[in-house]
Amino acid sequence: MSTTDFRDALIPKPLQTDKQHGRFYHLDLSVLEDEELMDELHYLQPLLWGLDSKHWLRERVGMIEAEIMKRRGNSRYKPSRKQIPKLAKGVDL
């Protein structure tokens, strides 16, 4: 089984069960514990390499990050996104 097949197998099938429907539409995030959210986030992040920007796993990671920020506030968790570097101030002699 290739890596792509493995990642696609992680996408729930919303028409099979109510649980998979809730997971597909990220309705399960509000009932997960903080530790479960962090575990899933750390599990999924390495799998994003080489995926299309519209892939469900990317959407899932974004939703998990949003849920973590909502619960903890912006100061305790920063998503891993490109940040604009701050320019250093010059030294006056």
Domain boundary assignment for the chain? 3-72
Q: Does the pLDDT of residue 3 top 60, yes or no?
A: no
pTM of the model: 0.71
Asked whether residue 2 carries a pLDDT value surpassing 80, the answer given is no
- What local confidence, expressed as pLDDT, does residue 1 receive? 47
The single residue listed with the structure tokens 């990317």 is 58
Among 20, 35, 43, 21, which Cα is nearest to 68's?
A: 35
pLDDT at residue 90 tops 80 = no
Which sign, positive or negative, has the C-alpha torsion 37, 39, 42, 48?
Answer: negative
- Judged against a pLDDT cut of 60, whether residue 76 lies above it is answered with no
> Where does the pLDDT of residue 72 fall: very low under 50, low under 70, confident under 90, or very high at 90 and above?
confident
